[in-house]
Amino acid sequence: MEKIVILTGAGISAESGLSTFRDNGGLWAGNRVEDVATPEAFARDPALVHAFYNARRAKAAMAEPNAAHLALAQLEASHKGDMLIITQNVDNLHARAGSRNVVHMHGRLSGALCQACSHRWEAPREMYPDDTCPACHAPQTRPDIVWFGEVPYGADVIDPALAAADVFIAIGTSGQVYPAAAFAQHAARLGAHTIEVNLAPAANARDFAESHTGPATQRVPELVSALLGARL
């Protein structure tokens, strides 16, 4: 049975009301990456970085999975072969839609990490610089998020999955952040059929053999029906 690998970006959660990064009015419009999404930014001004993630954690808590998340959960449940979702998103909408095999390569808003002892726990709704670690009590807690310059999570699962993929689908990502932006080209070189679902062609659009343009809530359910109908 065909092995399917899916990469999702902020665009799949846009219709759930969560801002993307690079669309106009996106997250980077109001904030500079250097000020809120690097380890240096956190060392320089932890209160500002916590405020950025506290606001996003609150918004994500109010968001609901949309038809695209639900269609992917249905694909995983119905598809006989292997399926993996690699998400760059830090919201939990895939899990809440029912997807089980999900790798959060850029971390999760619902995760907290201790910089002193590496203990991980479920993040409180709001985090502050003087919070202490529940395990070692050091005041060194941070959101369990992968910032620019930090190594993404899950390479041990992602790399073999890309090598074995028969179908690689990227949904709602602008193809500007590495190493995720190189996954399609890598999978194609190793024999996968690559499909892009996006509102507009991404920066790495040339890496895709097939593309479906339009909102994820329309294009993803259509693609899932086609994939299930093809009895992959």
Binding site residues, ligand BV8, CB under 6 A: 9-11, 14-15, 20-23, 26, 37, 88-90, 106, 145-152, 172-174, 176-179, 198-200, 202, 215-216
Shortest separation between residue 217's beta carbon and ligand BV8, angstroms: 7
Residue nearest to ligand BV8 (CB): 11
For ligand BV8, the closer of residues 43 and 136 by Cβ is 43
Residues in CB range of 215: below 8 A, 6 or more apart: 15, 199
DSSP 213: E
For ligand BV8, the closer of residues 114 and 181 by Cβ is 181
Shortest separation between residue 174's beta carbon and ligand BV8, angstroms: 3
Q: Is 69 a catalytic residue?
A: no
3-state secondary structure 98-163: CCCCEEECCEEEEEEEECCCCCEEECCCCCCCCCCCCCCCCCCEEEEECCCCCCCCCHHHHHHHHH
Shortest separation between residue 103's beta carbon and ligand BV8, angstroms: 13
For ligand BV8, the closer of residues 2 and 15 by Cβ is 15
Pick the catalytic residue from 50, 69, 106, 186.
Answer: 106
Q: In sequence order, which ranges of the chain are alpha helices (DSSP H)?
A: 27-30, 33-36, 39-44, 46-62, 67-78, 93-97, 155-164, 183-189, 216-229
Q: Could you tell me the two tokens for 210? A: 């097939």
Shortest separation between residue 223's beta carbon and ligand BV8, angstroms: 12
Positions marked catalytic: 106
